[in-house]
Amino acid sequence: VAKLLQIDFPFTGPFGSEMAEALKGLAVSITEEPGFIWKIWTENAAEKEAGGIYLFETEETAQAYLEKHTARLKELGVEKVNAKIFDVNEDLSRITKQQSRNT
Amino acid sequence: VAKLLQIDFPFTGPFGSEMAEALKGLAVSITEEPGFIWKIWTENAAEKEAGGIYLFETEETAQAYLEKHTARLKELGVEKVNAKIFDVNEDLSRITKQQSRNT
């Protein structure tokens, strides 16, 4: 069953197009992670936070990515990462116009 | 600019198809909220948590919905709601296969 991974953490930038320019190589590499399906990149320059909403094929691949990403963020000085893993309720999400996959 | 609203809270169920059956009327009503674009419904029966990832047209409509939903959850006995509002980095999300909108 696909799992949704929700991550956020304190982040001082860059944001927006500058962030996109700096992290596009990372973005490409993330698409090659085992079990990766998609990621929405989140950012809040005013609150100095960033994160991501991900879909992975399994709990195991979501968990493995979370560990890898948490270690990478720690190297970048991010000490505290908030992370939760969820199932998606596809029946309700269909009603509210966003299934986790377009199948 | 569209805003992503990330919500989660303690929840003891129902989950899965039982949750879908119980809350489908609510799901339909959410699609009629001002500024609503989409919602992914999240749930974790093992951790006893649930929530949602939403996209709204504006910060104001996201904030207004959050206040309404928090009050509704409180009536259902949910005291603590974790909520954050983010921008979506569309350039990076395009690379990772999930833009916030299909435009």
Q: ipTM higher than 0.85?
A: yes
pLDDT band at B101 (very low <50, low <70, confident <90, very high): confident
Model pTM score: 0.95
Taking the Cβ of residue B83 and every Cβ of chain A, the question of whether any pair is shorter than 8 Å is answered with no
**Structural domain of B73:** 3-95
3-state percent helix, strand, coil for chain A, nearest multiple of 5:
35, 30, 30
How many distinct structural domains can be found in chain B? Answer: 1
Which pair of tokens denotes residue B78? 């949910």
pLDDT in tens, A56-100: 999 999 999 999 999 999 998 898 999 999 999 999 999 999 988
Q: Are A40 and B90 in contact (CB under 8 A)?
A: no
Q: Which residues pair with B8 in a beta bridge?
A: B51, B82
> Can you give A55-88 as a three-state secondary structure string?
EECCHHHHHHHHHHHHHHHHHCCCCCCEEEEEEE
Q: What is the largest CA-CA distance in chain B?
A: 41
Q: Do A4 and B86 touch (CB under 8 A)?
A: no
Whether A103 maps to a domain, the answer reads no
Q: How far is B80 from chain A (nearest CA, A)?
A: 16
Whether A19 maps to a domain, the answer reads yes
Measured between CB atoms, which of A84, A91, A93 is closest to B39?
Answer: A93
Whether B103 maps to a domain, the answer reads no
Q: How far is A48 from chain B (nearest CA, A)?
A: 10
Q: How far is A59 from chain B (nearest CA, A)?
A: 12
